[in-house]
Structure 1
C-alpha cells in the first residue's frame, strides 16, 4: 500500500513538472504569434505607482511562498529558510529567523504563531519574537503555505491530506484525507481560516470547509468536474485562494469553471462561468477578477456572474494572482512588472517594475498599497496615488 502511494506521488510530481515545461515551451518559446507575450505599450497614466520600500528577506522564491498580512505587520519566508516580520508601512524589519533547513512553503501567521514547511513535510512554528516553538511532521511534502488561526496550524500535503497541529504544542489534532487525481497542478494555492472553519480548494475541483476544532467536514461544493481522456486533460484543480465576500464563497479552477456559492442557501451555487485560471482570483464587494491561462483579464459581477469587462492587453504575460486595492486591481507578470487596471472597465492605469524576474507569488493588498514577493528574495511595497 505504501509503495503504491509513493509511486503515485512520484508520478504526480514528475507529470506536474512536465506540465510546467510544456506550458513554457508552447506559450513562451513558440514562434506562433498567438502565444507571444503582449508587448508593453504606452498609455495615459490613470494612477501613479511607485516603489515605497524594498527589503531583502532571503534568497529565492516560487510556488508555495506568499506573504501574510496581520494588522500592521507582514510576514514572509524564502526557500533558503529565512522567516521575516516587517512593518507593513515602512518596511522596517521587526525580526528575522532561520529554520535551519530549506523550505518548500510559507508563511502562515495569525500574529501570534508563524508557520512554514520544509520539503520533507516538517512543519516549523515560531512565536512572535521569531523564536522557534515546535516542529511537527506532515504525512508528506507540503507545497502550499500553512493556515494559522483558531488554535491550529493547518497544512495540506502532496498526498491530498489536510492535517491540523495544535498552535501552542505542535501536537497533531486531526487529519483528513480526500482521494486525489493522478496529476495535480503546480501553482499557488492557499487555505483560509474564517469563523472557525478552514476553507480549502482541492485538486479534484472541489471546495471544502472543515471545523477547525474537530476536523469534521461541514460543507463541500463542486467548482468543476474533470473531463477528458488523459491525465493532462483531466486536471481541474482549485487554484489560488478561496474568496469569501459577504455570504458568498467563490473559487476558480484550471480547465474548469469559476463558481460562487451562496452560504445563506446551504452553499448552493449562485452562478458559474466556464473559465480556466492557473493562478487564482480576487474579489471586492461587487466583482470577481481573474486572469485566464492566456493572460486575458476578466471581471465578473458577484451578484449574477455576468462578464463586466475583459482586457487582452496583457495576454501571455504569465500573470500572477491579483490583488484588489481601492484604486485598481493589480497583477504581476513574468518580467517583474506590476500592472494596475481599472476596476470599473479594465483599462490600463499604470505599471511599475519591481525587479526579480517573474512574479510568481500572489500579490497582497494592504492599506499602504500592494505587497510583492519577488523571485530574488525581496519583499516590495508598491504605493499608489
Structure 2
C-alpha cells in the first residue's frame, strides 16, 4: 500500500522536509517504505443487506476530489476536466460539462451551478451544459469550492477565503488573517451552516457572514502544540460533520471536537491524531487516527462508545455514518460497513483495487465511493 502524503504550504515548506516535501515521515510514521503492513481482512458473518448497485468509469479523478450528493444525484469530476451528474439510483448520466482544464480541487454544486479549480489555479463555474465564467485565483486551492446562496466560496491553502457572484463571477469579498508560516495542503473545512459560512483557519473554526465576509465568531477546535512549526500544525481537516445545531471537526494531529456554531461554544473535545475528516449522526461521532485505529464517541457528551483496531494501517478514508452502519473506504479499494454501536464488521465489498480517494457519500439509499483508478461504485444500503 502506498503511504498517504500530506503537503506543506508556506514560505518555509521547501526546506522543512526531505521526504519529497511531504508530511509523511514524522507525522504519519515514515515514508512509504516504512509504512506498517495493513491489517489482514478477517472473516465475518454478513449482517447487513447492502449490495452493489452500479458502477461507472470517469477516468482519473480530480486530484482533490469531493463528491456532492443530493437526494437523487451525485456530482463528481475527472482530472481531465469533465464534471458529471449521475442519477443516484441508476448511475445514468443526467448532465455532463467539459470545463476545458485539468482539475485540481473539485467539485462544488448547488443543483444548478458547479464550481471547480484547475491545476493552474483557475476557478471555473458552469451550469449543466456549459462554462459560464472563469477567474484566476491568487493562491493555491486544494479544498473543493462551496456553491451556496448564489455565491461561490473558495478557500486557499494560505487560509484566505474569497466569495464570487455565481452568475457573473464578480468578486464580492476577501477574508484573510495572519497565521502560521506553514499550512496543511490538505482539503479543509468550508461549509454552510444555516445563514453562516464556516471556514477552518489554522486550528479555529471561523463563522463568517456570507454576505460580507466579516467574522461572527471563532471557535478553537484543537490547541496547537509542539516545539517547532511542523509539530504545531493544527489546521482543520475536512470533511466536518453537521448534526442539527452542532458541527464536529478534526484538528490535524491534535483532536476531534464538537461545537455549537450559533453560540460559538464548545460541546467537547477529545485528543486524537490523524488527518482525515469525521463522520457523525445524532448518536455517534466517528474518526480514525493516523494508524487507522477507529474511535466512536457519543455525540452529546463525548464519552467513548467503542474503538477498534481491525482496520489498522489500511489507509482509511474519512467515514460516513448512515442509519445502519459506519462506512469507510481503504487504500486497497475495499468498502467496509461497521456496526454503529460496536464497530463490528457487518459487510465488506471490493471495488477495482484502487485506493478509495473520497469519503463515502450518501444520496437516498445509495452510498457512493470513487477510486484512484476512476471507478465510481454505488451500493444500495437499504
TM-score, normalisation: structure 1 = 0.91
- d(CA) in 1 for partners of 2:18, 2:244: 40
Partner of 2:204: 206
- Count of matched residue pairs: 374
- d(CA) in 2 for partners of 1:23, 1:228: 12
Matching of residue 218 in structure 1 with residue 216 in structure 2: yes
- d(CA) in 1 for partners of 2:377, 2:200: 28
TM-score, normalisation: structure 2 = 0.91
What is the CA-CA distance between 1:188 and the residue it aligns to?
3.5
Q: Residues 12 and 101 (structure 1 numbering): CA distance in 2 closer, same or farther, change over 3 Å?
A: farther
Q: Residues 14 and 237 (structure 1 numbering): CA distance in 2 closer, same or farther, change over 3 Å?
A: farther
Task: Determine if contact 1:72/1:88 at 8 Å carries over to the other structure.
Answer: yes
Which one is further off, 239-248 or 311-320? Answer: 239-248
Matching of residue 341 in structure 1 with residue 345 in structure 2: no
What is the CA-CA distance between 1:259 and the residue it aligns to?
1.3
What is the CA-CA distance between 1:284 and the residue it aligns to?
0.2
Of the candidates 257, 266, 269, which is equivalent to residue 255 of structure 2? 257
Q: Residues 123 and 242 (structure 1 numbering): CA distance in 2 closer, same or farther, change over 3 Å?
A: same
Task: Determine if contact 1:15/1:183 at 8 Å carries over to the other structure.
Answer: no
Task: Determine if contact 2:14/2:21 at 8 Å carries over to the other structure.
Answer: no
What is the CA-CA distance between 1:28 and the residue it aligns to?
5.3
Task: Determine if contact 1:49/1:351 at 8 Å carries over to the other structure.
Answer: no
Task: Determine if contact 2:11/2:182 at 8 Å carries over to the other structure.
Answer: no
Q: Residues 57 and 12 (structure 1 numbering): CA distance in 2 closer, same or farther, change over 3 Å?
A: farther
Matching of residue 36 in structure 1 with residue 37 in structure 2: yes
Partner of 1:181: 180
* Deviation sequence 1:12-60 (CA, Å, 0-9, x none): 89888421466677375338xxx32111111111114432111112324
What is the CA-CA distance between 1:190 and the residue it aligns to?
4.2
**Structure with the larger helix share:** 1
What is the CA-CA distance between 1:247 and the residue it aligns to?
2.1
Please give the residue correspondences for 1:56-75 in structure 2 after superposition, counting only pairs within 5 Å. 56-62=57-63, 64-75=64-75
Partner of 1:26: 30
When the two chains are superposed, the root-mean-square deviation of aligned CA atoms in Å is: 2.3
What is the CA-CA distance between 1:187 and the residue it aligns to?
3.2
Please give the residue correspondences for 1:264-303 in structure 2 after superposition, counting only pairs within 5 Å. 266-303=263-300
Matching of residue 326 in structure 1 with residue 330 in structure 2: no
- d(CA) in 2 for partners of 1:365, 1:279: 18
* Deviation sequence 1:198-219 (CA, Å, 0-9, x none): 11222x2111111111111112
Which one is further off, 242-251 or 337-346? Answer: 242-251
What is the CA-CA distance between 1:94 and the residue it aligns to?
1.3
- d(CA) in 2 for partners of 1:148, 1:365: 19
- d(CA) in 1 for partners of 2:17, 2:136: 20
Question: Does the residue aligned with 1:29 lie in a helix, a strand or coil?
Answer: helix
- d(CA) in 1 for partners of 2:270, 2:328: 21
Partner of 1:311: 308
- d(CA) in 2 for partners of 1:166, 1:283: 32
Task: Determine if contact 1:58/1:77 at 8 Å carries over to the other structure.
Answer: no
Partner of 1:94: 94
Please give the residue correspondences for 1:35-184 in structure 2 after superposition, counting only pairs within 5 Å. 35-62=36-63, 64-127=64-127, 129-184=128-183
| Alignment gaps of 5+ in structure 2 | 1-8
* Deviation sequence 1:50-96 (CA, Å, 0-9, x none): 3211111232444x201101231211012221111111111001122
What is the CA-CA distance between 1:142 and the residue it aligns to?
1.2
Task: Determine if contact 1:86/1:92 at 8 Å carries over to the other structure.
Answer: yes
- d(CA) in 1 for partners of 2:364, 2:332: 25
| Alignment gaps of 5+ in structure 1 | none
